[in-house]
Structure 1
Amino acid sequence: MKKYQLYATMGAGFESVVNKELQGMGYKTRVENGRVFFKGSQADIVKTNLWLRTADRIKILLKEFKATDFDTLFNEVYDYDWAELLPVDAKFPVQGRAVKSKLHSEPDVQSIVKKAIVNKMIDQYHRRGFLPETGNEYPLDIHIYKNIARISLDTTGASLFKRGYRVEHGGAPLKENFAAGLLKLTPYDGTHPLIDPMTGSGTLAIEAALIAKNIAPGTWRKFAFDGFDWFNADLHQKVVAEAKTQVKPLAAPIWASDIDQSVLEIAKLNAHNAGVLQDIRFKQVAVKDFTTDLENGVIIANPPYGKRLKDRESAEALYKQMGEVLRPLDSFSQYYLTADPNFEKCFGARATKKRKLFNGNLRVDFYQYWANKR
């Protein structure tokens, strides 16, 4: 069984989370900024794409080499056995990045890599200067950092955050893998209650339900590897079928509320598509009116950030309400994501711990208030 050098990519700040996920699946790992490396077979490619909750993509590292000039780049790429990887009609877009390297022009890097692959395939397939590129897609990536080039094949396709359950968007929802990453930074494992008092389109609550029920987050979607002609076509459905046998019942309540009923309807539709509508208690209620008789769980929320001045005033008024209503629920560990540096002051308490993250390109802080043990 052929083993590949694989790596997962992820958003900044989530390397340790993805690493823990992979180690929990039994892989030996090596961590770099934005990447966690591991080795695996085609079955492992399917398994990690299907099960990883917090990663962006799974890639196969095809070749790594030093390149400080375009001739070296061309020759090293040309030397790879591309006919083993790409059929004659393959569509193979090349994306590229160059950081702190002599070859700093990304369009030129992409162009040279593409040209080298085309020339090699023309030679290997005995074509006359033409490749149709009408077949399935094989997304390639060239990344040069400090003059070390890596060329990779993306096995995922659309990013792993695109689970397939969210067909409606309310406001500016968290990406699904970002929401799962936040949950993985809490003690939540499905055995204690979870509350999201500002649920929006429901992503945090839905991802919590998927964790609690042990539902593979990639259950509903296709991946790039489904189109690779050399990939075992039976593996995907086999791994999905196996994953479905591992689903378990919900062990503790999940509550999701919001002031906006129309947004809640979107959240319910998303939960329905994810197969967890019956596992989440949705309720229309403002934070100032929120009450619960639950204890010893996790409260997590992505409240409005208030980036504009007028919005910021209303957001900070909401943070004050959150402090008045939620802070006394001290048997819960509480976690809040916001870009507002005044959050702790408005909430009325310093966080036990604060973690810097990036929600897209926006710098945010994840404020963590640990429960009082009872």
Structure 2
Amino acid sequence: MNKVGETVLEIDLRALEHNYNYLRSKIKDGTRFLGVVKAFAYGSDSIAIAKKLETLGTNYLAVAYTNEGVVLRDAGIKLPILVLHPQEVNFTTMIQRCLEPSLYSPAVLTAFLRTAKELQQKEYPVHLKFNTGLNRLGFSENEVDFLLEQLLGAEQIKVTSLFSHLAASEDLNERDFTQSQIEAFEKISSILLGGLKDRPFRHLLNTSGIINYPHAQYDMVRSGIGLYGYGNEASEDEQLIPVATLKTFISQIHKIGANQSIGYNRGFISNSPMVTATLPVGHADGIGRIYGNHKGHVWINGKLAPIIGNVCMDMIMIDVTGLNCKERDEVVIFGKNHSADKMAGYADTISYEILTGISQRIKRIYKDEM
């Protein structure tokens, strides 16, 4: 077994390339591909991921907020970057750093037009988002006439794309609802394409949409979780490779007698003699307290070991009774053999939350050789 000296998040850029190529194989050759790198690229490293995607031929990147885009620009990323949830206070910075906003409401459109005019912009690229059923962000169908009226005389901006977001593309029991979203987007976007002087491209599909609704790929698709190795469905997960592996090691092994307590608040009491191991990772690193007391498991020497006692800020304890392990041995919290989906299942949550919750204090290391 490997021996490590610190807790690390291993980022496998080879796995990212595999996942990108797999998802690309699901769409037409001429369809653009947008890689979502918000939230530190789903908890990994947005700069490393963006640079790799750029070399792979990705057409666009997307972040949630302006500061995430600024980080990428500071790192030398040249690809177009869509900001999915821009805030008015950042509009000037967005324009200065060539970041492209998603405009999703009359108020946001009006405010961005005002800023673009103040900065003497002409045909600055913007994207219009429409609400077709997710009911989170987006213009509604009854605001299409307002949009056409505002945009026809607005020389400061140029509508680069029209898009929406599917609410349940991973759930095949919701096919009718998803199809209704596709139809709503087709109706709205067709009206705008007929009324705008420019011809923006269209995009609707997320990772599960790419897999389940390829007929609705339009001009571009967007992938987040799929790039990082998760397809929201078991058969697709088999085709993808997790990019991030959270590794730690055994700091100390204890032989515990019967009726002894382990951890804060005496959260675990041994029923019989046992062997425990302490690991240098805790809830400050993203391993929530919910995983304590046999709720979560880790992977060690090809075996699962349960977390016992309450998760501490910087440490967890595991039961290694009967396992072949020793101090300094490597332990995998999640990764290829013990996926973030599996970890998420212990806490009745989703892989997204596990991945994005990993603390930035954990060192990132990289694998990028085939």
Q: What's the TM-score bracket when you normalise by the shorter of the two chains?
A: under 0.3
Q: Say which structure, 1 or 2, has more relative contact order (CA 8 Å, 6+ apart).
A: 2
TM superposition score normalised by structure 1:
0.27
